[in-house]
Structure 1
Amino acid sequence: MNPTRFFLIRHAIVEPSARTVMYGDMDVAICAMALAQESAAYQWLATRLPEGARWFTTPLTRTRSTVEAIFAAGYAPVETEVEPRFVEQHLGEWQGITHEEFTARLTAPPHPFWPHAAEERPPGGEALADVIGRVGPALEDMVEQMPGQDVVVVAHGGSIRAALAYALRLDPHQAFQFSVKNLSLTRLEWHRGDWRVVSVNEEPPLSTP
């Protein structure tokens, strides 16, 4: 049987006002200026992604807007489905506060590559382990429901790191060591009864003058 191939894309960068706070899974818009400036990235994704794939977003506007931009850049539009388990980490009572206030509320030293420790669970929110705990079953359900198919998921940095952690059996601290940039592509495959990581954080090639 052919592998089930997953193409995971982090949404476009969000509007500047959202970036001044810890927005977590708040429903914020993508940056209109960046949308105009990143046409090459959308065109690259439109040609890089396989035809005939099943497309999924999260319930948040920034993932749907990113899909629309990829379609506008040349990928033949298809119906998209919503998979809420791929939504970004929920920061509970700390969501929407400034970065400075967020830092003051931490209960453990932050991760070297992230604003908080992997085990940090804001009041009423999620730790990264909780995100892994919902993303993993979502991947397994997709494998069962779409064996041998291509699946595109436009999601978030946290949920893509969670997918990598689940596939590689990593702990949350290790998951935060992955760089997952906006509009980057990460590819996983379910093949021969196990997960294979094909690529992480793919970006469009730099254009030459």
Structure 2
Amino acid sequence: MTRLHLVRHGPTHAKSMVGWSDLPADLGDTAAIARLAAHLPAGAVVISSDLSRATATADAIQGPRVRLPHDRDLREMHFGSWELRTHAEIEAEDPARIRAFWERPGDTRPPGGESWHDLRSRVDGAIDRLIAAHPGRELVVVAHFGVILSQVQRALDLAPEQAFARRIDNLSVTALTRLPGGWDTGEINHRP
């Protein structure tokens, strides 16, 4: 039994599509960060995406926990040419594709980017490797909206549209446990 504590990084305050762009996190809410750090198990192993908004959040909550090297496969979805553009800008240019991306996210890719299925495959592999390398441990994974939702989809066996419609707040924790026969879910989008 391996328990994952999936933490969404601190806010970037961007009002655009932010995937692989390396925007910093606002970690000014020190009370929220302290509550989050206190909520997480002291003996856990911490890993994050390699993007600075995730690494800085992991640094802020690490405390005495063991830290693993950052993992590029825990990055947010790659939005390709939509990166750092607003929904209004994209809709004005390619309304059919952006509508399909939100309504049927499974196979729809932004130009030069990833589909939901691509993201899910990449993140499933990263999480599976992490679980195999640290069986029976408590793992704190500091990552992104899409990364966390991909694992909620996996654990609850949801359609991409169902997973994509869920909310994951900045500095929230989603708890999933990998059991021998499947998954058990704890709190999703919990704000300590």
Structure-1-length-normalised TM-score: 0.83
- Aligned residue number for residue 161 of structure 1: 149
Structure 2 counterpart SS, 1:64: helix
Whether 2:102 is the aligned partner of 1:116: answer yes
Correspondence for 1:76 among 47, 61, 64 = 64
Structure 2 counterpart SS, 1:141: helix
Q: Equivalent pairs: percent with the same residue?
A: 35
Structure 1 contact 94–123 (Cα < 8 Å) conserved: yes
Whether 2:81 is the aligned partner of 1:93: answer yes
Letter in 1 for 2:91: T
Q: Shift of residue 77 of structure 1?
A: 5.3
Unaligned runs of 5+ in 1: 205-209
Whether 2:167 is the aligned partner of 1:179: answer yes
Q: Shift of residue 108 of structure 1?
A: 4.5
- Aligned residue number for residue 197 of structure 1: 185
**Which whole-Å deviations, capped at 9, do the CAs of 1:64-112 have from their partners, x for residues lacking one?**
11122224xxx3254332122211000111112233112222425648x
Whether 2:125 is the aligned partner of 1:137: answer yes
- Aligned residue number for residue 55 of structure 2: 64
Distance, in Å, in 1 between the alignment partners of 2:67 and 2:130 is 17
- Aligned residue number for residue 30 of structure 2: 39
Letter in 2 for 1:194: G
Correspondence for 1:50 among 19, 41, 63 = 41
**Which whole-Å deviations, capped at 9, do the CAs of 1:1-47 have from their partners, x for residues lacking one?**
xx201000000000x4xx1332222101113xxx22x2221111111
| Alpha-carbon spacing, 1:106–1:24, altered in 2? closer, same or farther (3 Å) | farther
Q: Shift of residue 150 of structure 1?
A: 0.9
Letter in 1 for 2:56: S
Structure-2-length-normalised TM-score: 0.90
Correspondence for 2:91 among 90, 103, 124 = 103
Distance, in Å, in 2 between the alignment partners of 1:152 and 1:106 is 38
- Aligned residue number for residue 12 of structure 1: 10
- Aligned residue number for residue 207 of structure 1: none
Cα RMSD of the aligned pairs, angstroms, is 1.9
**Which whole-Å deviations, capped at 9, do the CAs of 1:128-181 have from their partners, x for residues lacking one?**
121111111222222222110111100000110011112222221111122100
Structure 2 counterpart SS, 1:82: coil
Distance, in Å, in 2 between the alignment partners of 1:197 and 1:110 is 30
Letter in 2 for 1:51: A
Q: Deviation above 4 Å: which 4+ runs of structure 1?
A: none
Unaligned runs of 5+ in 2: none
Whether 2:19 is the aligned partner of 1:30: answer no
Structure 2 contact 9–170 (Cα < 8 Å) conserved: yes
Letter in 1 for 2:125: P
Equivalences, count: 189
Distance, in Å, in 2 between the alignment partners of 1:20 and 1:198 is 30
Structure 1 contact 22–95 (Cα < 8 Å) conserved: yes
